[in-house]
Amino acid sequence: MAGVIATLLTSAEAISKVDAGNRAKQRHAYDELIQLQDKGDPTLASPYLAASAVSTIAANGGTSGNFKITINFPEQSVAVTTANIAYNAAEAAIQSAIDTALNGQTIKATYVAGHVDAGSCANMASASCNITANGASVNQAHMVVTTTNVDLDVAAPAVTVVTVGTINRPAEAILALYSCLTPASAPLGYGITPGESDYVVGGNPLSLSPGLKDLLVTEVEVTENGALGQFFRTQIEGVG
């Protein structure tokens, strides 16, 4: 697997990738990245790697009634709600309801049936169901799954987030690797608005030049999450 900096330079949106004679104002930051890469380019750590969104809908434990599933892709402003799903629905009925609700929507591309996959489930009354966004039209998009009680004789089934869905995040990884910013726990999920307790200034915020830090934060804003990038900017503003 490519190193962190190699991954960034391969897929960057905001950081210049042009030849040495045409880097203009970005040349110093570009050269700084190359120098860091020459010193050793660590593998991109798992929290910053691309991942499919997965949520688990718990067994509802009901004996009658219906519920609905809402699939929300907030980064793409796509949110749909299924028609009624029976309390004891099996995989095929759940899959059909999801595909019908998402038909014609554009996420990474126009939705293809089955790309948000309802995992094997014989009976929602007694078994959980994984909802996974791993088809090409939705893969690596941040997905939020919720349920609504229509007329179940129990509460709406609970949803547990397994992974939120994420693209490769090398710019954020470099900021953390060189101690400019440090996640308070696990790196914040792609697409989720950060809060004051999610990241802190790292142990060595001066380890990168102001120009490179600015470009890395811009890269986060452009490719990952505008709110997250702006939050990073406020954290390191005036430091180095």
For the stretch 25-72, pLDDT in tens is 567 888 889 999 999 999 998 888 888 999 999 999 999 999 999 999
d(CA 82, CA 27): 50
Residue 103 CB neighbour total at 10 angstroms: 12
- pTM (predicted TM-score): 0.78
Task: Kindly state the average pLDDT of the residues 6-30.
Answer: 74
d(CA 218, CA 226): 9
Task: Kindly state the average pLDDT of the residues 154-159.
Answer: 97
d(CA 107, CA 100): 15
Closest to 87 measured CA to CA, from 119, 121, 114, 56? 121
pLDDT at residue 88, rounded to an integer: 98
d(CA 226, CA 193): 9
Which pLDDT band holds residue 240 (cuts at 50, 70, 90)? very low
Q: What percent of the chain has pLDDT over 70?
A: 94
Residue 114 CB neighbour total at 10 angstroms: 13
Which pLDDT band holds residue 135 (cuts at 50, 70, 90)? very high
Q: Give the chain's mean pLDDT.
A: 89
pLDDT over 60 (residue 218): yes
pLDDT at residue 3, rounded to an integer: 92
Q: What percent of the chain has pLDDT over 90?
A: 55
Cβ atoms of 133 and 165 closer than 8 Å: yes
Which pLDDT band holds residue 18 (cuts at 50, 70, 90)? low
d(CA 50, CA 141): 10
Query: Which residue intervals of the chain are DSSP H helices?
Result: 4-11, 27-38, 91-102, 170-177, 210-223, 226-236
Which pLDDT band holds residue 17 (cuts at 50, 70, 90)? low
pLDDT tens digits, one per residue of 112-129: 999 999 999 999 999 999
pLDDT at residue 222, rounded to an integer: 86
Q: Which two tokens stand for residue 227?
A: 């709110």
d(CA 146, CA 158): 8
Query: Which residue in this structure is represented by tokens 């790309």?
Result: 115
